[in-house]
Amino acid sequence: MLKHIVMWKFKEHAEGADKATNLLKAKALLDACAKLSPGTHRFEVVIAQPGLEATYDLILNSEFTDAAALAAYADHPQHVALKPFIGAVREARQCMDYEL
């Protein structure tokens, strides 16, 4: 099993919208990718909650059967298509993959 965690910090304003609007759009785009790879076991997209400690604004917490399943997700045209938007609205990105 392979764990894939990605965290993003968003810009206050980008692509003609505020951070809250862009977070909701990014979450919806990512949520729509939950079933792209048949090897996906967990796919959770969460926006940081006000009042709780968080250093990043959005997180993807996912698990895949193996590296091939993660690659199937990462290379899927639907996933590739959302990258320009997220790239334009994010200030920073962190990623970590590891085997369980």
- The per-residue DSSP string of 15-48 comes to TTEEHHHHHHHHHHHHHTTTTSSTTEEEEEEEEP
How far is the C-alpha of 5 from the C-alpha of 8, rounded, in Å?
A: 10
The CATH architecture assigned to 2-99 reads 2-Layer Sandwich (3.30)
The closest of 66, 76, 74, 69 to 95, measured between CA atoms, is 74
Q: What ranges do the domains of the chain cover? A: 2-99
12-21 tens-digit pLDDT: 999 999 999 9
How far is the C-alpha of 62 from the C-alpha of 39, rounded, in Å?
A: 11
47-71 tens-digit pLDDT: 999 999 999 999 999 999 999 999 9
